[in-house]
């Protein structure tokens, strides 16, 4: 038939393993860094945020009142548009610390948010004395002001709708709106103002997200925006986290910002900084960390927690509790990849890591080198068909003591692959196993092994008739076909003259060095024979091993006469004859399919008889 290849000791041991794992984990786990950005008051805290985010200055700044929230809430998206910090001032006079910061920044233009009731004309005059130009954005009321800010923002990529009677929802939306180029529209609880309706209709804003709890906004507001997505929560802190989870794919949790939810100035100023890094701003109550926030942070890999404001706003106890929450890296998966020879290879920017909560995430990695050489370094001398070169690289991951590991295999360039036509012999009445791989010669004169499948479904019969049969093989991804000619011959007795050689053959076939007589049906099963250092001097009988492709006979006692049978093994591709007593290699001249030949260490260094096959040799240990 033609076939195709396809107690009591436990507890202490468990305790020891557990302790080892615990100690190992302690070496790689690291809590996030706490960075507190604060000043003596809200104005100085905003200045500290500006100094952190814009150390080299800024051409523009957003200026809002530090005394009342309504006009200030919609300002964050402008911070993104103008790459500007948000600073605070008193209504009647420019805050002195803010004025100093404007000068340090070398600001040329300030955007004042709100009418003269929010920031008086006196502030305009003081800014003018600092040679700073002013653009005031204001409306008839807080709702109209948010519309005017949206118009100043220009083309919006969407909008958040929040109540204008309180600040937490707008503050929650601020960094997201800023980073995404979306506007924040404040509305009263019972319906949309005409200016808001007109803006949404004329601008065709989409998408729209509504933040609403139990009674912040009425059904009338929701019904006027049927296309909007509503993000809810039982209180402002739950809505803050639900909003962050909704946009988690657009946020970077590497660094998060935390501010009190009991007032607006710290979180508002922080939103301008957070949007630069697409980081969330998390609002905290003074009495503890909400359970939903704990759950979310335990699944996030956070490296830095930026706390906005002093200890009166976010206590030391809350700080400690926050630091213990985020997930940490337990292990990193090794990477195995491949690339064609001399092809540009881009090192992976991330690797898969397992966190303490059991989840798997992609984390950034810094490799020990910026680029790699994908050239080949030569073949593996122990395997003449392995032309791949393997490189190993290590990388580092922030807050992880272990290494990332990359194993890169460089494959020979494909180009045009040439497959030899295969000739094989089978004994009449016995089965034949088709090869599962085929060697292909690439355009750069290297060899590569490819899996091959054969079309044998129509010839699923025993080899009962003597004759010649041809089969086609297919290599996945290749248009070229592989041809195999199978010659079926009568099964005859095989006599192997050298006893040592006979023992090697029997052992490979049966695992024993002795046994019954050998027949052609036995030896035709052998495609690779390794008989190095076995004191073999005579190869008579080996001429029957027609399916041999790999033969290793190094360090034996072979002479020129002894190797004569090799000239009939025309399917040989790899032959090792080094360190024998051969004085002439003439009998090897017929082995035109050889691509690997090792013959040094014999009694002659005259390799001229091999001149005819030399050009085919990809791997060799001699020169002509």
Can you tell me the mean pLDDT for 154-169?
Answer: 88
d(CA 368, CA 397): 11
CA distance 603 to 584: 8
DSSP letter, residue 540: T
Cβ(2)–Cβ(456) below 8 Å? yes
Helix (H, G, I), strand (E, B) or coil at 160: strand
Look at the alpha carbons of 121, 122, 123, 126 in this order and tell me if their dihedral is positive or negative: positive
Q: How far apart are CA 406 and CA 392, in angstroms?
A: 6
As a whole number, mean pLDDT of residues 285-301 equals 91
Residue 397: is its pLDDT beyond 70? yes
Whether the predicted pLDDT of 443 surpasses 80: no
- How many helices (DSSP H) and strands (DSSP E) are in the chain? 16, 35
Q: Say yes or no: 442 and 295 in one domain.
A: no
117, 493, 519: which is closest to 509 by C-alpha? 519
State the pLDDT at residue 384: 37
| Listed range (289-293, 321-325, 457-461) with the worst mean pLDDT | 457-461
Does residue 530 sit in the same domain as residue 579? Answer: yes
Q: Are residues 272 and 357 in the same domain?
A: no
Given 323, 342, 363, which residue is the final one in a domain? 323
Question: Is residue 17 a part of any domain in this protein?
Answer: no
d(CA 453, CA 459): 14
* 18 belongs to a structural domain: no
Mean pLDDT of the chain: 87
- Is pLDDT at 414 greater than 80 in this prediction? no
Q: Place 398 in a pLDDT band, splitting at 50, 70 and 90.
A: confident
CA distances to 375, 417, 442, 478 from 341, rounded to whole Å, are: 5, 14, 11, 18
- End-to-end Cα separation, the chain, in angstroms: 46
For residue 424, being part of any structural domain is answered with yes
pLDDT in tens, 183-221: 999 999 999 999 999 999 888 888 999 999 888 999 999
Q: Is the pLDDT of residue 7 over 70?
A: no
The answer to whether residue 355 is domain-embedded is yes
Secondary structure letter of residue 455 according to DSSP: -
Cβ atoms within 10 Å of 219's Cβ, excluding its own: 9
Same domain, 334 and 318: no
Tell me the percentage of the chain whose pLDDT exceeds 90. Answer: 61
Q: Give the sheet arrangement for strand 453-454, strand by strand.
A: 422-427, 481-489, 467-474, 453-454
pLDDT band at 18 (very low <50, low <70, confident <90, very high): very low
Residue 243: domain span: 33-323
Same domain, 120 and 172: yes
3-state helix, strand, coil in the chain (%, to 5): 30, 25, 45
What is the pLDDT averaged over residues 558-574?
A: 94
Q: Residue 342: its pLDDT value, please?
A: 66
pLDDT value at 541 more than 90: yes
Residue 498 DSSP code: -
Residues forming a β-bridge with 332: 353
Task: Let me know if residue 12 belongs to a domain.
Answer: no
**3-state per-residue secondary structure call for 336-378:** EEEEECCCCCCCCCEEEEEECCCCEEEEECEECCCCCCCCCCC
Sign of CA dihedral 377, 382, 385, 390: negative
> Does any domain span residue 538?
yes
Rg (the chain; Cα; Å): 39
Q: What DSSP string runs through 226-253?
A: TTPEEE--SSHHHHHHHHHHHTGGG--T
Quick one: 224 exposed, middle or buried, by C-beta within 10 A (0-12, 13-18, 19+)?
A: middle
Q: From edge to edge, which strands make up the β-sheet containing 60-65?
A: 86-89, 60-65, 109-113, 133-137
User: Which of 411, 438, 456 is at the close of a domain?
Assistant: 411
For residue 183, the 8-state DSSP code is: E
> pLDDT grade, residue 13 (50/70/90)?
very low
Q: Mean pLDDT: which of 91-105, 273-287, 352-366, 397-411 is highest?
A: 91-105
3-state SS, residue 512: coil
- Domain tally, the chain: 4
pLDDT band at residue 393 under the 50/70/90 scheme: confident
Please work out, in degrees rounded to the nearest 5, the angle formed at the alpha carbon of residue 377 by the alpha carbons of 376 and 381. Answer: 115
Residues 464 and 555 in one domain: no
pLDDT at 442: 72
Of the pLDDT bands very low, low, confident and very high (cuts 50, 70, 90), residue 370 is low
Asked, for residue 24, whether it belongs to a domain, the answer is no
Ramachandran angles phi, psi of 315, nearest 5°: -70, 165
Q: Are residues 133 and 101 in the same domain?
A: yes
Determine phi and psi for 587, rounding to 5 degrees.
Answer: -70, -10
Last residue of a domain, one of 293, 323, 353: 323
Give residue 413's pLDDT band: very low, low, confident or very high (50, 70, 90).
low
- Same-domain pairing of 317 and 334: no
Residues 500 and 482 in one domain: no
Angle at 516 between CA 514 and CA 518, to 5 degrees: 100
**465-504: pLDDT as tens digits:** 898 988 888 887 677 788 989 999 999 999 999 999 999 9
Residues 505 and 563 in one domain: yes
Is the per-residue pLDDT at 382 higher than 70? no
Q: Of 61-75, 314-328, 400-414, which range is least confident?
A: 400-414
Which of 104, 112, 117, 52 has the alpha carbon at shortest distance from 82?
Answer: 112
Question: Is the domain of 378 the same as that of 429?
Answer: no
Please say if the pLDDT value at position 75 is more than 80.
Answer: yes
Q: Residue 401 has what pLDDT?
A: 86
Angstrom distance (rounded) from CA 316 to CA 61? 32
Q: Are residue 461 and residue 444 in the same domain, yes or no?
A: yes
Taking the CB of residue 309, how many other CB atoms lie within 10 A of it? 25
User: How sure is the predictor about 1, in pLDDT bands with cuts at 50, 70 and 90?
Assistant: very low
| Residue 9 confidence (pLDDT) | 39
Task: Identify which of 130, 212, 227 has the alpha carbon closest to the alpha carbon of residue 166.
Answer: 212
Sign of CA dihedral 211, 166, 159, 248: negative
Is the backbone of residue 511 left (phi > 0), alpha (psi -120 to 50) or beta? Answer: left
Q: How far apart are CA 92 and CA 174, in angstroms?
A: 26
Q: Mean pLDDT throughout 239-249?
A: 93
Residue 407: CB atoms within 10 Å: 13
Judged against a pLDDT cut of 50, whether residue 25 lies above it is answered with no
How far CA 404 is from CA of 329, 371, 393, 477, in Å, comes to 12, 16, 8, 32
CATH number of the domain bearing residue 556 = 3.80.10.10
Q: How confident is the model at residue 385 (pLDDT cuts 50, 70, 90)?
A: very low
437 against 260, higher pLDDT? 260
Q: What is the CATH number of the domain that holds 433?
A: 2.60.40
| Four-residue CA torsion sign, 296, 298, 301, 307 | positive
Predicted pLDDT of residue 379: 38
Please give the Cα distance from 534 to 445 (Å, whole number). 33
Q: What is the pTM of this model?
A: 0.62
Parallel, antiparallel, or unpaired for β 481-489 and 422-427?
A: parallel
Looking at the predicted structure, is the pLDDT value of residue 28 above 60?
A: no
Q: Maximum distance among all alpha carbons in the chain?
A: 114
The predicted pLDDT at position 4 comes to: 44
């Amino acid at each position: 038939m033609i076939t195709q290849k396809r107690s009591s000791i436990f507890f202490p041991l468990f305790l020891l393993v557990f302790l080892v794992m615990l100690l190992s984990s302690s070496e790689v786990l690291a809590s996030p860094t706490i960075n507190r950005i604060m000043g003596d008051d809200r104005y100085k805290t905003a200045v500290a945020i500006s100094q952190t985010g814009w150390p080299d200055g800024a051409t523009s700044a957003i200026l809002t009142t530090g005394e009342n929230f309504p006009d200030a809430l919609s300002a964050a998206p402008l911070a993104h548009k103008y790459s500007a910090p948000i600073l605070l001032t008193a209504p009647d006079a420019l805050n002195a610390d803010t004025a100093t910061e404007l000068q340090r920044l070398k600001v040329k233009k300030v955007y004042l948010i709100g009418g003269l009731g929010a920031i008086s004309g006196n502030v305009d005059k003081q800014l003018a004395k600092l040679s700073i130009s002013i653009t005031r954005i204001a409306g008839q009321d807080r709702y109209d002001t948010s519309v005017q800010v949206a118009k100043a923002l220009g083309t919006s990529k969407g909008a958040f709708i929040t109540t204008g009677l309180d600040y937490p929802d707008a503050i929650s939306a601020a960094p997201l709106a800023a980073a995404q180029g979306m506007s924040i529209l404040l509305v009263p609880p019972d319906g949309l103002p005409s200016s808001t309706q007109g803006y949404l209709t004329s601008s065709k804003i989409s998408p729209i997200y509504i933040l609403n709890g139990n009674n912040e906004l009425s059904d009338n507001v929701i019904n006027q925006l049927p296309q909007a997505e509503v993000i809810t929560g039982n209180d402002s802190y739950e809505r803050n986290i639900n909003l962050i989870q909704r946009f988690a794919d657009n946020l970077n949790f590497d660094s998060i910002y935390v501010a009190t939810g009991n007032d607006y100035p710290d979180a508002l100023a922080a939103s301008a900084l957070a949007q630069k890094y697409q980081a969330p701003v998390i609002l905290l109550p003074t009495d503890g960390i909400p359970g939903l926030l704990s759950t979310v942070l335990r699944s996030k890999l956070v490296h830095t927690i930026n706390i906005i404001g002093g200890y009166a706003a976010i206590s030391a106890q809350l700080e400690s509790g926050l630091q213990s929450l985020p997930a940490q890296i337990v292990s990193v998966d090794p990477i195995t990849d491949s690339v064609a020879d001399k092809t540009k290879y881009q090192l992976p920017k991330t690797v898969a890591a397992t966190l303490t909560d059991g989840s798997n995430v992609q984390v950034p990695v810094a490799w020990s080198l910026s680029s790699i050489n994908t050239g080949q370094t030569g073949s593996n001398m122990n395997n003449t068909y392995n032309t791949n070169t393997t490189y190993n690289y290590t990388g580092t991951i922030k807050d992880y003591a272990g290494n990332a590991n990359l194993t890169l295999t460089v494959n020979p360039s494909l180009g045009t692959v040439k497959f030899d036509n295969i000739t094989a012999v089978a004994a009449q009445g016995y089965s034949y196993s088709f090869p599962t791989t085929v060697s292909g010669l690439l355009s750069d004169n290297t060899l590569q092994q490819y899996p091959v499948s054969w079309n044998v479904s129509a010839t699923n019969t025993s080899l009962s008739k003597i004759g010649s049969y041809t089969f086609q093989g297919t290599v996945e991804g290749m248009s070229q076909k592989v041809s195999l000619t199978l010659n079926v011959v009568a099964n005859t007795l095989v006599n192997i003259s050298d006893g040592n050689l006979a023992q090697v053959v029997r052992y490979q076939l049966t695992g024993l060095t002795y046994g019954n007589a050998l027949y052609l049906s036995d030896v035709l099963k052998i495609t690779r024979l390794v008989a190095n250092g076995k004191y073999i001097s005579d190869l008579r009988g080996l001429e029957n091993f027609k399916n041999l492709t790999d033969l290793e006979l190094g360090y034996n006692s072979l002479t020129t006469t002894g190797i004569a049978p090799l000239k009939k093994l025309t399917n040989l591709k790899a032959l090792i004859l080094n360190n024998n007593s051969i004085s002439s290699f003439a009998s090897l001249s017929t082995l035109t399919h050889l691509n690997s030949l090792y013959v040094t260490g014999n009694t002659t260094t005259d390799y001229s008889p091999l001149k005819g096959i030399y050009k085919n040799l990809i791997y060799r240990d001699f020169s002509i």
